Structure 1
Amino acid sequence: MTTLAVRAEDASVLARRPAITRMAGVGTAVAGTPISQPELLGLLEITNPKIRSVYLNSAIDRRHLTLPAADEHGRRAPEPQGDLLDKHKRIAIEMGAQALLTAVQRAGATLADLRHLCCVTSTGFLTPGLSALLMRELGIDPRCSRSDIVGMGCNAGLNALNVVSGWSAAHPGELAVVLCSEACSAAYALDGTMRTTVVNSLFGDGAAAVALVADSGVGDGSAGGPRILKFASYLITDAIDAMRYEWDREKDRFSFFLDPQIPYVVGAHAETVIGTLLDGTGLRRSDIAHWLVHSGGKKVIDAVVVNLGLTRHDVRHTIGVLRDYGNVSSGSFLFSYERLADEGVARPGEYGVLMTMGPGSTIEMALVQW
Structure 2
Amino acid sequence: MTVTLERAAELRTPTRLPAISRMVGVGTATTGTVVSQADLLDVMGIDDPKIRSVFLNSAIDRRSLTLPPPDATGRRVPEPQGRLLDKHKRLAVDMGGRALQDCLRNAGAALSDVRHLCCVTSTGFLAPGLSALLIRELGIDPHCSRSDVVGMGCNAGLNALNVVAGWTAAHPGELGVMVCAEACSAAYALDGSMRTAVVNSLFGDGAAALALTSDASEQVRPGPRILKFAGFLITDAIDAMRYDWDDGLGRFSFYLDPRIPYVVGAHAERVVDRLLAGTGLRRGDIGHWLVHSGGKKVIDAVVVNLGLSRYDVRHTVGVLRDHGNVSSGSFLFSYERLVAEGVARPGDYGIMMTMGPGSTIETALVQW
TM-score range (shorter-chain normalised) is: over 0.9
> Runs of 4+ in structure 1 displaced over 6 angstroms?
none
Report if the CA contact (8 A) 2:268-2:302 is conserved: yes
Q: Name the structure 1 match of 2:200.
A: 200
Report if the CA contact (8 A) 1:108-1:218 is conserved: no
Report if the CA contact (8 A) 2:195-2:255 is conserved: yes
Q: Name the structure 2 match of 1:275.
A: 273
Q: Give matches, 1:304-323, under 5 Å.
A: 304-323=302-321
Q: Find 2:230's aligned residue among 229, 232, 242.
A: 232
2:292 aligned with 1:294, yes or no?
Answer: yes
Q: Name the structure 2 match of 1:156.
A: 156
Q: Tell me the TM-score normalized by structure 2.
A: 0.97
Instruction: For 1:304, give the aligned amino acid.
Output: V
User: Which deviates further from its counterpart, 66-75 or 320-329?
Assistant: 66-75
Residues 1:217 and 1:94: Cα distance change in structure 2 (over 3 Å) = farther
Report if the CA contact (8 A) 2:15-2:278 is conserved: no
Q: How many residues align?
A: 363
CA distance in structure 1 between the aligned counterparts of 2:128 and 2:283, rounded to whole angstroms: 42
CA distance in structure 1 between the aligned counterparts of 2:94 and 2:35, rounded to whole angstroms: 19
Instruction: For 2:322, give the aligned amino acid.
Output: D
2:145 aligned with 1:142, yes or no?
Answer: no
Instruction: For 1:216, give the aligned amino acid.
Output: A
Q: Name the structure 2 match of 1:89.
A: 89
Q: List per-residue Cα deviations over 1:202-249 (Å, max 9, x = no partner).
A: 00000000000000289832xx32100000000100100000011001
Q: Name the structure 2 match of 1:211.
A: 211
1:75 Cα deviation after fit: 0.3
CA distance in structure 2 between the aligned counterparts of 1:104 and 1:215, rounded to whole angstroms: 17
Q: List per-residue Cα deviations over 1:31-64 (Å, max 9, x = no partner).
A: 1000000100001110111010000000000000
CA distance in structure 2 between the aligned counterparts of 1:12 and 1:123, rounded to whole angstroms: 40
Instruction: For 2:11, give the aligned amino acid.
Output: V
CA distance in structure 1 between the aligned counterparts of 2:169 and 2:313, rounded to whole angstroms: 30
CA distance in structure 2 between the aligned counterparts of 1:306 and 1:178, rounded to whole angstroms: 31
CA distance in structure 2 between the aligned counterparts of 1:3 and 1:81, rounded to whole angstroms: 61
Q: Name the structure 2 match of 1:346.
A: 344
CA distance in structure 2 between the aligned counterparts of 1:3 and 1:179, rounded to whole angstroms: 43
2:11 aligned with 1:6, yes or no?
Answer: yes
CA RMSD of aligned residues (A): 1.1
Instruction: For 2:197, give the aligned amino acid.
Output: T
Report if the CA contact (8 A) 1:22-1:212 is conserved: yes
CA distance in structure 1 between the aligned counterparts of 2:239 and 2:117, rounded to whole angstroms: 31
Report if the CA contact (8 A) 1:34-1:64 is conserved: yes
Q: Name the structure 2 match of 1:261.
A: 259
Instruction: For 1:232, give the aligned amino acid.
Output: A
Residues 1:178 and 1:219: Cα distance change in structure 2 (over 3 Å) = farther
CA distance in structure 1 between the aligned counterparts of 2:298 and 2:32, rounded to whole angstroms: 26
Q: List per-residue Cα deviations over 1:309-354 (Å, max 9, x = no partner).
A: 0000000000000000000000000000000000111000000000
Residues 1:146 and 1:218: Cα distance change in structure 2 (over 3 Å) = farther
1:366 Cα deviation after fit: 0.2
CA distance in structure 1 between the aligned counterparts of 2:296 and 2:15, rounded to whole angstroms: 37
Task: Name stretches of at least 5 consecutive residues in structure 1 with no aligned partner.
Answer: none
Q: Sequence identity, in percent?
A: 74
CA distance in structure 2 between the aligned counterparts of 1:65 and 1:293, rounded to whole angstroms: 23
Residues 1:306 and 1:257: Cα distance change in structure 2 (over 3 Å) = same
CA distance in structure 1 between the aligned counterparts of 2:356 and 2:218, rounded to whole angstroms: 33
1:93 Cα deviation after fit: 0.2
Task: Name stretches of at least 5 consecutive residues in structure 2 with no aligned partner.
Answer: none
Report if the CA contact (8 A) 1:32-1:66 is conserved: yes
Q: Name the structure 2 match of 1:124.
A: 124
2:333 aligned with 1:325, yes or no?
Answer: no
Report if the CA contact (8 A) 1:30-1:95 is conserved: yes
Describe the SS at the equivalent of 2:38: helix
Describe the SS at the equivalent of 1:352: strand
Report if the CA contact (8 A) 1:100-1:179 is conserved: yes
CA distance in structure 2 between the aligned counterparts of 1:219 and 1:158, rounded to whole angstroms: 26
Q: Name the structure 1 match of 2:61.
A: 61
Residues 1:219 and 1:58: Cα distance change in structure 2 (over 3 Å) = farther
